[in-house]
Structure 1
Amino acid sequence: MKALLGDLVLADSPQEDLVSIEGNWYFPPSSVNADLLTPSATPYTCAWKGECQYFSVKNGDQLLQDRAFSYPTPYPASFDRVGMDYSNYVAFWKEVKVVE
């Protein structure tokens, strides 16, 4: 599966390596093009996953605010709900499309 912003590939990984949480596909950290992501200061804490890290996506000269997110140190109790350790896995939204 690929996370695409237009023709720009932000992440690429076989579907069996991704995890689906609340309708979002989370990509393993090794499959994400980290050079295209910039950490954001936007704060958010999920009641059951923990503290979220947002990323802005670089698209040429444009920086799209908070289009990716991750849970660097999720609450350990959430691993049972998700079925695995998804620490640092990255999900995308808005203009970023996840396709097969």
Structure 2
Amino acid sequence: MSSLAGITGLALLAGVAAAQAQSTGIATCDDFLTKYDACISSKIPPAQSAMYKTQIEQTRKAWLDMAKNPSTKATMEASCKQTMDATKAALTAYGCSF
């Protein structure tokens, strides 16, 4: 049983890594996601990083969905920049830079 649990765990990790590797096709959005991931992985204390990881995965999924829709894709660069500016202010205390 423990080997099955290990395989399942690896499959889940692979799924998360694949989601993180997906590009929105919008450079501003992808740049923000990369920098946010680096910040929460290296600067946010583990007790708080789970909340930030959940937030970024929700944001990533929403942006990937938006990128598939031509009518919303056109507004994504401005939306991503706005999100980055708001997040930058919130994460400066941890020493993150965007």
Normalised TM-score (structure 2): 0.28
More strand by share: 1
Normalised TM-score (structure 1): 0.28
**1 or 2 for the larger relative contact order (CA 8 Å, sep ≥6)?**
2
Structure number, greater radius of gyration: 2
